[in-house]
Structures are given as C-alpha cells and as structure tokens.
Structure 1
Amino acid sequence: MIRNVYCVGRNYKLHAQELGNDVPDEPMIFMKPSHAVVSLEESVLALPADQGEIHYEGEIVLHIAQEYETGIQVNELVDQMALGIDFTLRDVQNVIKKKGHPWTAAKGFKSSAPITSFIPFPGTDAILKQDFTVIKNGIEVQRGNVSDMIFSLQDIVEYIGTHYGLGEGDIIFTGTPAGVGPTVSGDKFELFWGEDQLGSCVIA
C-alpha cells in the first residue's frame, strides 16, 4: 500500500532552466495525495481538461522499504523503483506560484501521479548506467539519468527522512529532466527503463 507521496521539484538543472526557475540550494519537496497514484499498465487516464494546459513530467520513483534512520544508505532504505509521470496543471501552477499559494491544486488532482509496476532497485551504482525515457505518441520527449540530478538519491532520502520522516510504503518522485510539455486527449505515453517498457497510458 502506498502511504506518503513525496516529490522533488527542480532536481534537473536543464528542467529548471526551461521553465525559467532558479536552481534550488536544497531539495525542494512537495507532496501529492496517495489518491493521485494510479496504474500505468496500459491505462486510460481521465485528467481535468477544463483548467488550462496539463504538462507531463516523467520521473524515477523510489519505494521505501523501512523506517528512515540517520546514516542509513539508499541501498538499505529502497527496495524497489518504478517510473511515473507527475502531471501538472501548468496554468494553475503559474497563478498560484505568483500568489505564493501551495501547489496542491496544480499537482495533487486525481490521477496526477500514475506509476508503472515496481522493479527491484538496482543500487546506486548500477542505476547510473541506465537512462529512462518518456515516449509520447511514438516520439522520445524526455531522457533522464540519475547522474544528471542536482541532488543525489542519498541527498533526497536524507533530506526527506530528516525533515518529514520516511517509512515503509512511502514513495518518492525524484524529479524530471528537460523536455516537459503539454498533453491533450488521445496522447499515448510509454515509459522505458533502458530498452524495457515498464508502463503506458492513453489520455482520455
């Protein structure tokens, strides 16, 4: 069962730049309701189409296996990983950012955090050797690698664990690389870990 859903904002420098955002000095954490998590196994997703542009943001998702303790390493704490999409109501987000309001309205809507099936976490060394990609309507739109993150996986779990707590069943969306963009009804997304497709969906 999924418990807390943590997300890391602006964790790839090129993504921060493409949206005109400053690169953060420490991990920028926000949350989504667990109800936002749905399957990416050939799913059909209904997203709110009446609130402006919806953007896709492909990400690596970590699954936490046990309670966080100071000094614990990622390889001990994380047992599985998946790929996911952080869907964002971009027009809504732009307005609430200017007002200084919380991001929940733009990030926490139903089906805004679809994830693939989990696979065994390969470890912090092996994960650096593999890219993940987001394919939209047959065209690669995003490619990411953990090595391109501003904050490492260890930085992320230490920050979240220290400030908010981490426990079994929590998941972490670790940030998105450059290439985010809008989606509309009929778009098909396929998420690949290397050559292996882990999940897909069609926007209703």
Structure 2
Amino acid sequence: MTLQDVQNIFCVGRNYAEHAKELGNEVPDTPILFTKPTNALAIADGQTLNYPSDQGDIHHELEIVLKIGKSSDSQSVNDRVVEMALGIDLTLRDLQSTLKKKGHPWERAKGFRNSAILTPFWSFSSVEDIEHTTFTLKKNGETVQYGNSTQMLFNFQQLVDECDQAFGLGEGDIIFTGTPEGVGPISDGDVFTLFWGEEEKGSFTVAFNK
C-alpha cells in the first residue's frame, strides 16, 4: 500500500459504548461522522513519527479500517470492501474539548500530520470471519486497547451505508470504524504495536518535537 492509494478518509466517532462512556459522552443513536485530510496519513512500518509537544495531550485510538473497492451494483459490505487494516486515529484531546465547548468542528484536533496511522492493508474476507478475531494495541509491550467488531454500536454495513449516503464512497476511500475503550495519551519515546489476533501488523515510535 502507498499513501497515494487512499482517496478520502472517513471516520466514525463513539462507535463503542464503553469508549463513549469513558470520555463522559452520550452514546449516539446514529453514527457520528467526521473526516481527516490525506496529509494526516502515515504508515506503521516501524518508523518514528513526530508530534507537537505544545498542544496538550494527544490520545491514541485503535480502529479497524475498511478500504472500498471499485464501484459495484451490490451494496453489501462483503462486495464493496476489498481490503482492511488496523489504524490509529490520534486526537489532540485538549484542543478537541475546547472546540466542542465552543460548538466548533473537530478537524483541527483530528487532522494534524501523522494523525491517521495505518498498517499495511490485507484482503478483506467477510464480516463473519472478522467477528472471530480480536484486535489489540500495545504500548511499550503493555496492552492498552483491545476490541472486537461485535462490540460496535453500528456494524460495518451500517457504516458503509451511512458514509455512502453522507459523502458518497469511491474506490480508494477508507473508513476508520471507531475505537474501543482504553484510549490514552502518547508520550515521547513510546513504541506502539498493532495486532490482529496474534499477528503483528505494524508498529511505530513516538517522537515529540523539541
């Protein structure tokens, strides 16, 4: 996968009830959608990624990411999604809280450089197969987040339908499908590793700008 393959980045907020509760947010009745610019993309290929040190806490959010294939007459997720990955949606949490209080959009807290981290993509088999596998994020060797797609408030089909209706979906578009509980701040020197089941899919190291 190259970053140029990705066309649009659509994201889903509060799609796991326990995550919504841990941040003191209401559990939504319909999917909360937002976007990130493609300039936010980075690959979890073992590299060191740089972040601002003067904008408050930056929180990690582990997610399953779906990649849309060529247009199809079928609206089924099993036909429209061709690949999947694990991703980290990073959030400038202090800035997001300030923006929310003012009723402003979240993009400044969500769309900064290296805030949409992706493992390499692999073939999407089926919704049913994915339900049997847990995904995990480890920070410095310790598990900080784990989840399963069956815990989502809105399933893959609902998310694809909602994004298609709201924005239109085309080949190369990706969807960050929401994060389970356990989000927390990143720190200078942290090493993050992403697992699908027992298989390591990607990693990266955090460096704060001096």
Same fold (TM over 0.5): yes
CA distance in 2, matches of 1:191, 1:113: 14
Q: Does residue 1:135 correspond to 2:131, yes or no? A: no
CA RMSD of aligned residues (A): 0.9
CA distance in 1, matches of 2:36, 2:160: 17
Q: Does residue 1:83 correspond to 2:86, yes or no? A: yes
Q: Is the 1:4–1:33 Cα contact (8 Å) retained in structure 2?
A: yes
CA distance in 2, matches of 1:78, 1:34: 19
CA distance in 1, matches of 2:156, 2:15: 10
Q: Is the 2:72–2:79 Cα contact (8 Å) retained in structure 1?
A: no
Q: Does residue 1:184 correspond to 2:187, yes or no? A: yes
CA distance in 2, matches of 1:14, 1:28: 15
Q: Does residue 1:35 correspond to 2:23, yes or no? A: no
| Alignment equivalent of 1:74, drawn from 69, 72, 77 | 77
CA distance in 2, matches of 1:181, 1:30: 20
**Aligned equivalent of 2:127:** 124
SS at 2:200 equivalent: strand
SS at 1:125 equivalent: helix
Any residues of structure 2 matched to 1:93-172 within 5 Å, and which?
A: 93-172=96-175
User: 1:68 offset after TM fit, Å?
Assistant: 6.4
Mark the runs of 5 or more structure 1 residues left unpaired by the alignment. none
CA distance in 2, matches of 1:197, 1:53: 26
**Aligned equivalent of 1:193:** 196
User: 1:47 offset after TM fit, Å?
Assistant: 1.1
Taking structure 1 as the reference length, what is the TM-score of the superposition? 0.98
Amino acid of the residue matched to residue 50 of structure 2? A
Q: Is the 2:82–2:124 Cα contact (8 Å) retained in structure 1?
A: yes
Mark the runs of 5 or more structure 2 residues left unpaired by the alignment. none
CA distance in 2, matches of 1:131, 1:147: 10
| Greater Cα offset, 92-101 or 71-80 | 71-80
CA distance in 2, matches of 1:175, 1:43: 24
CA distance in 2, matches of 1:178, 1:101: 25
CA distance in 2, matches of 1:170, 1:4: 5
User: 1:49 offset after TM fit, Å?
Assistant: 1.5
CA distance in 2, matches of 1:67, 1:106: 32
SS at 1:3 equivalent: coil
CA distance in 2, matches of 1:142, 1:68: 34
Q: Is the 2:20–2:27 Cα contact (8 Å) retained in structure 1?
A: yes
Amino acid of the residue matched to residue 168 of structure 2? G
Q: Is the 1:192–1:198 Cα contact (8 Å) retained in structure 2?
A: yes
**Aligned equivalent of 2:65:** 61
User: 1:66 offset after TM fit, Å?
Assistant: 2.1
CA distance in 1, matches of 2:83, 2:164: 17
**Aligned equivalent of 2:23:** 19
CA distance in 2, matches of 1:95, 1:68: 41
Aligned pairs, number: 203
Q: Does residue 1:3 correspond to 2:7, yes or no? A: yes
Paired-residue identity, %:
52
User: 1:163 offset after TM fit, Å?
Assistant: 1.6
Taking structure 2 as the reference length, what is the TM-score of the superposition? 0.95
Which runs of structure 1 show a deviation greater than 3 angstroms over 4 or more consecutive aligned residues?
none
